[in-house]
């Protein structure tokens, strides 16, 4: 007999309370194995793949892509005994669709279910099942071959729970169909050419490159006509939709009033777009407000001649030992910051407001602020003080690449001690950076420009940059902050100091 198990959204180890469904990797009807990726979720810090805790067949998907789901809420149902090998005999339709909450409660919260993640005991949350209104004309396959509402007759003669795509489509009255051929489109809404309404509550089938193309072109995938197998949206579908939509958009929103955001709700006059704050942007806002209004910020500045550092960068780029890594001025600035913190370990601390204690860290986890399509994230390099220059270059490259791909792990985002932000990459001279919560210092590294500079009593063109160090004045007084910044400047002015202090 079928054995339906609900997979509830787990806490993946970062104090998660909710997450957004980013992309489903399975569809209704797919056969899955243990540890196979079911879904990719977007948390406030990163993208995380969730593996299947059981082997079986996906019978119901309970959350759509783009939907925010609280921890503990069921997101998918898996039949762990699709062949009926555990026990012979049929199961009444009412029993097949109802008891998933009770039968899987213990399994979902047990320690051996959430493969690869920590578990968290929590009360079982009841989910309100969507049901089509009476007389709404639900699809025949949702009503079931036996005529019993809320069930569907499977190929082996056993009823299975109703599919989300069919239920949502019937409730919305869109007249949409559901894919039935193969696992690619089964249980998902298939876009049609006359379906112009936004379908935010129904999953849209499209591969990641197609989704990126749609985002770049400002195309809403939920209104694109799908021509791919199983109702999947292809690259050609997106391009064709963009070409058809362009004249209409220009006519409706001429000139500067044309919407440029891919997502959001455009006002009736077309002059404003409202976008819901979520995921990385929301977490960044919360963290910055908490930091700005909790830690008293002080920022000190220093203008530095970095000509020798620029010459060193050029030499290292030609050095065979550094041929496999990217050498940049940021690398030298990061190394200089690590050396300065080692010389003044009092700055490597955090303020414990609850205990009214200062916590000094005997390690340096160097945060690197990275701008990504999802917003600003600050992963950190663990034990950066133990890395030589080549190892530090490798770590920076891996960290930034992973961040831009949205694959940063929760562990990489926690326990940072000091951060560097490269505002110079945007051509900005300097700024007053806000501390990451739990840290006491952050260095802004400005743009490097060739400027007239007094060198050996003569005005010469030199490479010059500006540094700005913000620190928590509860922990760091002005003298300590100034000494740290001065040491960073000394290393960048004369990289030989790295040998002396290293």
Q: What angle do CA 403, 434, 423 make, to 5 degrees?
A: 60
Beta strands in 123-228, from DSSP E residues, in sequence order: 152-153, 159-160
Exposure b/e, 269-279, CB count within 10 A at least 16 = b: eeeeeeeeeeb
DSSP 500: H
Look at residues 439, 434, 438 and name the one whose alpha carbon lies nearest to residue 470.
Answer: 434
Helix/strand/coil for 417: coil
What angle, 0 to 180 degrees and rounded to 10, lies between the N-to-C axes of helices 329-343 and 389-404? 110
Q: Which two tokens stand for residue 83?
A: 């062949």
- Residue 19, Cα to own-chain centre: how many angstroms? 10
Counting runs of H as helices and runs of E as strands, what totals does the chain give?
A: 13, 23
Rounded to the nearest angstrom, the gap between the alpha carbon of residue 261 and the centroid of all alpha carbons in its chain is 19
Residue 240, classified by CB atoms within 10 Å of its CB into exposed (0-12), middle (13-18) or buried (19+), is middle
Do residues 1 and 158 lie in contact, with contact meaning Cβ atoms separated by under 8 Å?
Answer: yes
Q: Where are the alpha helices (DSSP H) in 293-412?
A: 307-318, 329-343, 389-404
> Any idea which residue has 């490269």 for tokens?
422
Secondary structure element (H or E) that encloses residue 303, with its range: strand 297-305
Q: What is the CA radius of gyration of the chain?
A: 28
Pairing of strands 159-160, 152-153: antiparallel
d(CA 459, CA 461): 7
- Which residues, at least 6 apart from 284, have a Cβ–Cβ distance to it below 8 Å? 375, 376
| CA dist., res. 386 & res. 364, Å (int) | 9
CB 101 within 8 A of CB 60: no
DSSP state of 233: B
Interatomic CA distance for residues 118 and 110, integer angstroms: 10
- As given in the structure block, the two tokens for residue 436 are 């990451």
Task: Reply yes or no on whether 473 is catalytic.
Answer: yes
Q: Which entry of 297, 302, 390, 473 is annotated as an active-site residue?
A: 473
User: How many CB atoms sit inside 10 A of residue 109's CB?
Assistant: 18
* Catalytically active residues, by annotation: 473
């Amino acid at each position: 007999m079928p054995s339906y198990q609900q997979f509830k959204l787990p806490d993946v180890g970062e104090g998660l309370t909710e997450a957004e469904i980013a992309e489903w990797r399975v569809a209704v009807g797919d056969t899955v194995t243990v540890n196979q990726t079911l879904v990719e979720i977007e948390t406030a810090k990163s993208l995380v793949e969730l593996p299947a805790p059981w082997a079986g067949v996906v019978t119901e998907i309970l959350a759509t892509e783009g939907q925010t789901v609280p921890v503990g809420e069921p997101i998918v149902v898996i039949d762990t005994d699709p062949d009926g090998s555990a026990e012979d005999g049929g199961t009444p339709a009412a029993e097949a669709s109802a008891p998933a909450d009770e039968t899987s409660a213990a399994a979902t919260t047990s320690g051996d279910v959430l493969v690869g993640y920590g578990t968290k005991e929590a009360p079982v949350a009841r989910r309100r099942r969507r049901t089509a209104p009476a007389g709404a004309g639900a699809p025949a396959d949702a009503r079931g071959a036996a005529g019993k509402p809320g069930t569907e007759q499977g190929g082996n003669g056993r009823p299975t729970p109703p599919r989300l795509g069919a239920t949502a489509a019937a409730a919305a009255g869109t007249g949409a169909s559901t894919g039935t051929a193969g696992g690619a489109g089964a249980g998902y809404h298939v876009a049609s050419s006359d379906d112009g309404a936004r379908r935010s509550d129904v999953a849209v089938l499209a591969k990641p490159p197609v989704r990126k193309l749609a985002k770049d072109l400002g195309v809403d995938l939920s209104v694109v006509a799908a021509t791919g197998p199983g109702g999947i949206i292809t690259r050609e579908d997106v391009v064709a939709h963009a070409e058809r939509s362009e004249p209409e958009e220009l006519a409706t929103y001429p000139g500067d009033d044309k919407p440029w955001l891919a997502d959001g709700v455009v006002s009736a006059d077309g002059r404003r777009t409202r976008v819901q704050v979520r995921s990385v942007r929301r977490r960044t806002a919360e963290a910055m407000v908490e930091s700005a209004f909790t830690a008293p910020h002080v920022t000190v500045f220093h203008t530095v001649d970095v000509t020798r550092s620029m010459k060193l960068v050029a030499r290292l780029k030609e050095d065979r030992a550094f041929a496999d890594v990217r050498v940049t001025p940021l690398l030298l600035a990061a190394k200089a910051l690590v050396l300065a913190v080692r010389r003044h370990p009092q700055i490597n601390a955090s303020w414990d407001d609850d205990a009214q204690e200062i916590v000094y860290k005997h390690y340096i986890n160097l945060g690197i602020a990275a701008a990504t399509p999802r917003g600003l994230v600050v992963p950190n390099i663990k034990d950066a003080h133990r890395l030589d220059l080549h190892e530090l270059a490798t770590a920076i490259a891996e960290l930034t690449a992973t961040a831009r791909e949205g694959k940063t792990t929760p562990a990489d985002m926690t326990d940072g001690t000091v951060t560097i932000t490269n505002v110079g990459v945007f051509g900005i001279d300097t700024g007053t950076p806000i501390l990451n919560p739990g840290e006491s210092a952050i260095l802004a590294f400005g743009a490097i420009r060739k400027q007239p500079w007094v060198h050996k009593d003569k005005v010469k063109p030199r490479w010059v940059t500006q540094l700005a160090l913000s620190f928590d004045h509860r922990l760091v007084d002005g003298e300590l902050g100034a000494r740290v910044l001065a040491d960073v400047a000394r290393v960048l002015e004369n990289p030989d100091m790295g040998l002396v202090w290293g």
